Structure 1
Amino acid sequence: MNVIWRTLLIIWQARRRARRGETLEPTAVGRIRLTTLPTDLDILRHMNNGRYLSLFDLGRWDLLIRTGLFDAMRKRGWYAVVSSETVTFRKSLELWQRFDIESRFTGHDDRALFMEHRVVVDGEMYARVIVRARMLRRTGGTVPHDELFATLGRPEGVPDIAEWIHEWAAASALPSTKRPAPSVWR
């Protein structure tokens, strides 16, 4: 709940930037500037590892709004959900440290869209996350890619997804919601 105020602020800022003509192409890198707050810290006095994922959501909001995808999705009753993500940490963020979150759509496979987010300080990467997301309908079901791209256009210049990301997506997938997924430890 304590990230809700940041979320609302980022949405307001992104809408304001878009109105001023600071829109983004779907393949562009979006950037937002944040500061490590006391509520972001863990007992070791650096950014809590779970907080990174919440703050990467802010980068997604900025990117979706400034590319125009959010309005197109809302108009059609679509929304995106994260189906899997993997994060790698390199350096810690300390209290009151300023940093950028860089966000970019990096491609798609037959069922999902992929994004990458980075925490960057003075041009140096501190953390990175790869996100796999699915597009769903508020009325139920998924939005097929052919319908998504027919509506929004297929962005040019999206790089191919690295082979390890395809392997990660397959290896980390859980059974579909229509199949059982018992919790059995081996």
Structure 2
Amino acid sequence: MVELSTVAIALLVSVDLGYFIKVAICTIGSRFFWSRISPLHPSSFYGICTVRDVDFLLNHINNARYLRAMDFGRVDHFVRTGLYRSMKSYSATFLVAASTIRYRKPVYLFMPYKLQSQIVYWDDKSIYYRQDFFTIHDNFLRTTAYVKMAVVGCSPEKIISAVSDTPLPTPPQASSDLLLWIQYNAENSDSLKKLQ
């Protein structure tokens, strides 16, 4: 019995076991219990700010926890839209290549929130998500982010087309702030290449 508890404590300390358990629960729930959605429609994932999420002030979500919650939102979206299955069928991989986040108001301790995740654009190499945190009691947009998901091993268009309602979907029109962020990423990438 002591050996089992030692192994359990070692796992909790060395591996963030809670994260992997939550990913498994999110994947199973998205696959079997929540309705399937079109790849261009938003998915909603619900959460609550707990004591494991707060920063050193002990009253609102830590900045890094937003990014972590966004992982769960994208997992939910990947599974419910069929993008995960499509990605695997083409032996492709999605990798977070960049993200930008804007905090408007904090999500305080024990405050429930809704995370909305939606594909807002894609190009020949990447898929772009917008992810928004709304507090449930007032439906206020607390935090908003863009995430660039690099698609390795296949084109984004091919993966999206495989699960889309239309044969060859066109990317949605990108907003001006998203285009500026894409341009920033491209220029930043070019400047980093010059350093090598």
Q: Tell me which of 149, 164, 171 is aligned to 2:184.
A: 171
Residues 58-112 of structure 1 deviation map (CA, whole Å, 9 limit, x = unaligned): 0100011000111111122111111111100111112221111111110113432
Percent of residue pairs bearing the same amino acid type: 19
Q: Tell me which of 18, 28, 32 is aligned to 2:45.
A: 32
Supply the AA of the counterpart residue of 2:132.
R
Residues 97-146 of structure 1 deviation map (CA, whole Å, 9 limit, x = unaligned): 11111111101134321110111113211101011111113xxxxx2345
| Gap runs ≥5 in structure 1 | 138-142
Q: Distance in 1 between matches of 2:101 and 2:70?
A: 11
SS in structure 2 at match of 1:39: coil
SS in structure 1 at match of 2:33: helix
Supply the AA of the counterpart residue of 1:144.
S
Report deviation, 1:175.
3.3
- The number of equivalent residue pairs is 172
> 1:159 is matched with which residue?
172
TM-score (norm 2): 0.78
TM-score (norm 1): 0.82
Report deviation, 1:150.
5.3
Question: For residues 97 and 166 of structure 1, do their structure 2 counterparts lie closer, same or farther at Cα, with a shift above 3 Å needed?
Answer: same
Supply the AA of the counterpart residue of 1:17.
F
Report deviation, 1:152.
4.3
Q: Tell me which of 33, 46, 71 is aligned to 1:17.
A: 33
The answer to whether structure 1 residue 50 and structure 2 residue 64 are counterparts is: yes
RMSD across aligned C-alpha pairs, in angstroms? 2.3
> 1:98 is matched with which residue?
112
> 2:10 is matched with which residue?
none
Q: Distance in 2 between matches of 1:99 and 1:127?
A: 11
| Gap runs ≥5 in structure 2 | 1-15
| Structure 1 runs of 4+ with >3 Å offset | 145-156, 173-176, 179-182
Question: For residues 149 and 62 of structure 1, do their structure 2 counterparts lie closer, same or farther at Cα, with a shift above 3 Å needed?
Answer: closer
